[in-house]
Structure 1
C-alpha cells in the first residue's frame, strides 16, 4: 500500500521523524496528565476551587512567559538543543517531584512553577520541524506540518480510553505521575541523543541579531498582535467546547458522563484522519480562507450541541466538528510560524500568546453566555465569535495582498 504523500518526507527524514516521535510522546504525556490535574487538586490534595483557579492563573502566565522567553533566546543564540534540554529537564523535574514526594506543597510547586517552565517544548518541537522542512520542496511543507500536528493528537485517541479502563479497575488517580515520569524521561533522552548539535544542523539557522527588547517589540507589532487576537477567538471556541460539552449533555440533555466521553472520543478519533487528509486541500484554498471554512464547520458543531443534544442527531455533529477541528488545530499554528518566518523560536512562541488570548476569550464568553442564557447560549456565542475572528483574519490578509 502506498504511503500518504504527507507521510513520505517525514519517514525519510530523521529530523522530521524525531519531531513526530517527540510530539507523539508529548501528546501521550499531556493526555495522561492534563485531564486529571483538576481532580487531583481538589479531591486528592484538598485545594479549594479558588486556590486552584489562582494556581491556574500563575501557571498560565509563567508558561506563556517561558515560551516567549525561551523562543527569543533560541533565535538570539541559535541554541535550540540547549533550550529543548532545559525545557525537558523541567518536565522531568516537575513530574518526578510528584512521583517521589506527592503532597499539596509538591503539587503547587510542580503545577504552578516547575511544569509551566516546560511550556516552550511544544513550540520548540514545531520550530525544529519547520527548520528541517526547509530542506524539502515548499509545496510539501504545509502537509508536513499538518501531519505532525496529527501526531500530537493521535495519543489522545488511544491513551484516554486506556486510563478510563485502568481507573475503572480501581487504580489510584495519582498513578498518572510515575507513568508520566517514564514518558518525560524517554522524551528527554530522545532530545539528548538525537537533537542536532547547535551550529551543526543541515539547515541554516543564523542568530537573530536582535536584543531581547527588540525581539519583544517585533512580537508586539500591531500587525502581529491583531492576528494573534483573531486566531485567539478560534482557540477560544475550541477551549469552550471542552468546557461546555459535559455541561450541555448533563444539564440540557440529561445524558451521563459515558455519552460525554463517547462524543469526545469519536470527535478526537475522526480528527486524526481528517488531519492526514488535509494536505490534499492545502494549496487549493488560501490559508486564511481555509481557516474560515474550518471555523465555520467547527461552529456548526459547537453551536449545534445545545440545539441537538437531546436528539440522536447530535452524534452527526462529530463529522463537521472533526473536519473543522482538523483545520483549526493545525492551520493557525502554521500561520503563526510564518508570521515571523525569520524567527522560528519567536514564531513558535506566538502559539502560547494565541492560547492565552483564547483562554481569556473562552472565560469571558462562558461567563457572559451562562449568565444571560445558560450553557447553550455560551456555546452559540463562542461559535459566532470564532467565525468573526476567522473572517477578520481573512479580511486583514486580503487587504494586505
Structure 2
C-alpha cells in the first residue's frame, strides 16, 4: 500500500493527477451532498423540477465528456481540454455567488458545472497513460490508489462542514469554497499538466473520425456493459440525492448529520480502496463488483428506514465496503474495454454516469411520487444489484462463446 503511494508521488504526471483528484474530491465533497437540499430547501425547486435539472445536467455532462474524450484521442491535446473544462468550476460557482437565486442556480447546475465533470475522465486518461510507463502488474493498483485519493478529502471536508452548519451557517456558504478550489485546479493544470506532444509516453492521434469513434463506443457488447454498470452508478447518485433529503426531513436531523454521515462513509471507503489491491486478481472482477453492489444496496435501501434511529450510523460500514468496490472497479473495467483509446475509455465512464444519472433521476421521480424517499431508495438498491448481476452474466456468456 505504502509502496504504491510512493510510486504515485514519485511520478510527476501521477503526482499531478493525485493532487488534482484530491482537490476535485474536495470540490465534490463540498457540493455533492448539499445540491439537492440547496435546490429544494434554499432555491425552492420542487422534487420534479430538480429531477429535470438532474436529467439535463446528465445529458450535457456525458455529451461533453464523450465529445471531448474523442477529441482528445483525435488531436492528443489533453492539456488544452483539461484547462477548458476545469475553468467551468470557476464559472459555475462564481455565477451562483453573483446571483443567489433559483435561475442562476439552475443555469450553473444544469448547463455550466456539468461541463466541468469531464475533467474527472481526463485525469484518469492522463493517469492511464502515465501508468503505461510502469509494470503491468502495478497499473490496476495505481488507478485504485488514485480513486482512493479522490475520496480522501471527504474524510476531512465533511466533518468541517458538519461543524460549520451546526453553528448556523447558510448552505450557500459552500460556494466561496468551491470557487477557491476551482481556481486552484485551473492554476495547477496550467502550471504542471504535461505539454501536448512532449510526454514521456506515446500518445498518438487515434486516426478515427468522430463517427467512427462513436460507432466503436456504441458496439452492442460494450454498450450493454455500460448500461449494466450504469445501474450501479445510479445507486451511488441516488445515495447522494436521497441521503441529504432524508436527514433534512427527519426530526432531530439536518445538514450537520448529512455531513457527518457522508464523511464517515468516505473515511471508511479510503482504507478499503487502498486495500483492494490485496484482493484484485484473487476474486474475478465482475464477481467483486456484484458483491460490492449488494453491500452498497443494503446501505442505500435502509437509510430512510433507519434515519430516525442511532442504527443508521452502522450502515456506513457495508456502504463503505461496497463503495470501495463500485467506485473503483467499474472504472478500470470500462477503460479496459477500449484500452488503446484513453480518451474514449474515459468517455465510457461518462456514458456509465449518464446511464446512472438517468436511472437515479427516473427512480427518484417515480419513487417520491408514489411513496416517498423510502421507495426511491429501495428501488435504486434493487436496480443496482440487478445491473451487477447482468454484468456478471454477460461476461460468463462471453467466456463460454
2:54 to 53, 56, 73: 56
Change (3 A) 1:90 1:396: same
CA contact (8 A) 1:6 1:276 kept: no
2:271 to 273, 280, 298: 273
Counting only pairs closer than 5 Å after superposition, residues 214-225 of structure 1 correspond to structure 2 as: 214-225=212-223
1:330 to 313, 317, 328: 328
CA contact (8 A) 2:33 2:240 kept: no
Partner of 1:34: 32
Counting only pairs closer than 5 Å after superposition, residues 98-177 of structure 1 correspond to structure 2 as: 98-100=96-98, 102=100, 105-177=103-175
Structure number with the bigger relative contact order (C-alpha 8 A, sep ≥ 6) is 2
Rounded Cα–Cα distance in structure 2 between residues aligned with 1:178 and 1:243: 22
CA contact (8 A) 1:6 1:279 kept: no
Rounded Cα–Cα distance in structure 2 between residues aligned with 1:69 and 1:59: 15
Shift of 1:176: 2.6
CA contact (8 A) 1:31 1:159 kept: yes
Change (3 A) 1:314 1:115: closer
Partner of 1:25: 23
1:61 aligned counterpart, secondary structure: helix
1:256 to 248, 253, 257: 253
Partner of 1:241: 239
Is the deviation greater in 100-109 or in 63-72? 100-109
Partner of 1:179: 177
Structure 1 segments unaligned to the other structure (5+ residues): none
Shift of 1:315: 3.5
For normalisation by structure 2, the TM-score amounts to: 0.89
Partner of 2:299: 301
Rounded Cα–Cα distance in structure 2 between residues aligned with 1:313 and 1:44: 29
Is the deviation greater in 48-57 or in 267-276? 48-57
Shift of 1:39: 4.4
CA contact (8 A) 1:249 1:260 kept: yes
Rounded Cα–Cα distance in structure 2 between residues aligned with 1:220 and 1:70: 16
Structure 2 segments unaligned to the other structure (5+ residues): none
1:7 aligned counterpart, secondary structure: helix
CA contact (8 A) 2:54 2:361 kept: no
Which deviations, in whole Å up to 9, do the C-alpha atoms of 1:370-395 show, x marking residues without a partner?
A: 56665444434332322221122122
Partner of 1:93: 91
Which deviations, in whole Å up to 9, do the C-alpha atoms of 1:142-182 show, x marking residues without a partner?
A: 11111111111111221122123233434444343232222
Rounded Cα–Cα distance in structure 1 between residues aligned with 2:242 and 2:40: 20
1:129 aligned counterpart, secondary structure: helix
Partner of 1:291: 289
Rounded Cα–Cα distance in structure 2 between residues aligned with 1:103 and 1:162: 26
Rounded Cα–Cα distance in structure 2 between residues aligned with 1:147 and 1:250: 33
Change (3 A) 1:323 1:12: same
1:392 aligns with 2:399: no
1:67 to 59, 65, 68: 65
Shift of 1:400: 1.8
Number of corresponding residues? 398
Shift of 1:74: 0.2
Which deviations, in whole Å up to 9, do the C-alpha atoms of 1:316-371 show, x marking residues without a partner?
A: 33222211110001111111111111111111111121112112222333455556
Shift of 1:100: 4.7
Is the deviation greater in 75-84 or in 101-110? 101-110
2:212 aligned counterpart, secondary structure: helix
1:206 aligns with 2:187: no
Rounded Cα–Cα distance in structure 2 between residues aligned with 1:84 and 1:10: 20
Is the deviation greater in 56-65 or in 225-234? 56-65
Rounded Cα–Cα distance in structure 2 between residues aligned with 1:246 and 1:106: 22
Change (3 A) 1:142 1:378: same
Rounded Cα–Cα distance in structure 1 between residues aligned with 2:41 and 2:378: 32
Rounded Cα–Cα distance in structure 2 between residues aligned with 1:89 and 1:382: 33
Rounded Cα–Cα distance in structure 2 between residues aligned with 1:367 and 1:51: 9
CA contact (8 A) 2:55 2:361 kept: no
